[in-house]
Amino acid sequence: MKEVVIDTSVWIDFLNGIENRQTTTMTKILDGETEVFITPQIIQEILQGIIDDSEHDLLKEKLLSLNVISIDPLEAAIGASSLYRSLRKKGTTIRKTNDVLIAYYCLYFNIPLLHKDRDFDLISEHSKLKLYK
């Protein structure tokens, strides 16, 4: 069975009804047999943007019904910092700390990432991060 982590960048477009290559792929994933995983950082990024309380609670319930992958926070922080440092040594600086954490989760669990954020393209160029095609 195929597996995927769907990044916040795609979730936000999907929830806002924006159609693009990534949201079309996401719709196919959700309607198919691909197993969807999510990280705590993605859950936070999605939920913190929801203003309406009832919408927040409903979405939280739906997100938590997905396969939430987690790592000990200290291990994740150290792993992500090592990834960030290795990228910097190769001349690549990632703008958002959460993107490095999300990439580390995907690397740790060896799950491809569906995204719409150029930082993940840079990370995948200089690491073993797999991108969902």
- Residue 113, Cβ density class (10 Å: 0-12 exposed, 13-18 middle, ≥19 buried): buried
d(CA 4, CA 10): 12
Domains, the chain, in order of start with CATH, read 3-125 (3.40.50.1010)
pTM (two decimals):
0.94
* Residues 28-70 pLDDT 10s: 999 999 999 999 999 999 999 999 999 999 999 999 999 999 9
Average pLDDT score over residue span 62-79 = 97
